[in-house]
Structure 1
Amino acid sequence: MSRSVSKLVVALLFLFFGAVVASRAKDAGPPPPAVKMAVEPLEIVTATGAHRLRVEVARTPDQRERGLMFRTSLPSDGGMLFDFREERPVAMWMKNTPLSLDMIFVSRSGRVVSVALGAEPYSERVISSGGPALAVIELAAGAAQRLSIAVGDTVKHPIFER
């Protein structure tokens, strides 16, 4: 094959794959509208003291499904509390989520049962609670270490038994 034909083939392949990528991006369309959620105070008591946060609370299936998808930022004292209404093994993922997040899995009694640090943006890898959990708190990556959140710490919010 001559050099000019090779260049033409490469150029055509480039154009074809560019059109495929552009078509897929266009098909994806804009993100769906956000689902309205209440913002409520939450306190996490760790070895370094009590840390007060303001979290959006995802209570309905639609709210839990949407979660923090498509968000590009979170306030340093903000996050999301996912209320699963019953204590059971919980699995999360990062599909359509551009932020790296820390996930704190919490029992019905308000005890931290596991912590997943720095979940990879856009990943469909399943992140498991490792045991029964009533809720998950998602915070911006690095917040769990900054606040010294560890297994056994206490979370205070009305969804947890006291």
Structure 2
Amino acid sequence: MRLVHRPLDDCGSQEHVLATDVDVAASTLAQARGLMFRTSIPDGYALVFPFDRSKARDLHMLFVPFAIDALWVSETEVTHKKRLAPFVGLGRGTADTVVELPAGAAADVSVGDRVELRE
């Protein structure tokens, strides 16, 4: 599975792979744990949180000792993007999917771009 980014201003020909090592936090327990208690995450990694519907979703960095890039996505469209600081970072956006990536991995992603999981 891979996480693919397509810029809004592109006609679909220029896709960029954000991550090739993707975990899906499908259970309530996995979503509650997120990246807590890990010491790091590798380049090319993404943790994806799928939800039933789009609504306001909060993220916190409690017990996460490294910065991440977070994307809030509704129907493959990025609605919000934020770099979250270790331990104290907080973020909120509207989404049916939330994606956590290593800090810097989403540098080229903008609100309105498309991000989706592919087999």
Q: Normalising by structure 1, what TM-score?
A: 0.64
Match of 1:83 in 2: 50
Distance 1:74 1:95 in 2: 16
Query: Aligned with 1:144: secondary structure?
Result: coil
Q: Which has the larger radius of gyration?
A: 1
- Structure 1 unmatched runs, 5+: 1-39
**1:111-161 deviation per Cα after TM superposition (whole angstroms, max 9, x unaligned):** 0001002x11111x53111xx31011111111111xx10001111226xxx
Return the match for 1:102 from 69, 72, 87. Answer: 69
Q: Which has the higher contact order (CA 8 A, sep 6+)?
A: 2
Match of 2:28 in 1: 61
Over the aligned positions, Cα root-mean-square deviation in angstroms equals 1.7
Query: Aligned with 1:62: secondary structure?
Result: helix
Do structure 1's residue 144 and structure 2's residue 111 form an aligned pair?
no
Distance 2:16 2:31 in 1: 24
More strand by share: 2
Q: After TM superposition, where is structure 1 displaced by more than 2 Å over at least 4 residues in a row? A: 46-49
Aligned residues: 112
Q: Normalising by structure 2, what TM-score?
A: 0.85
The aligned amino acid for 2:91 is I
More helix by share: 1
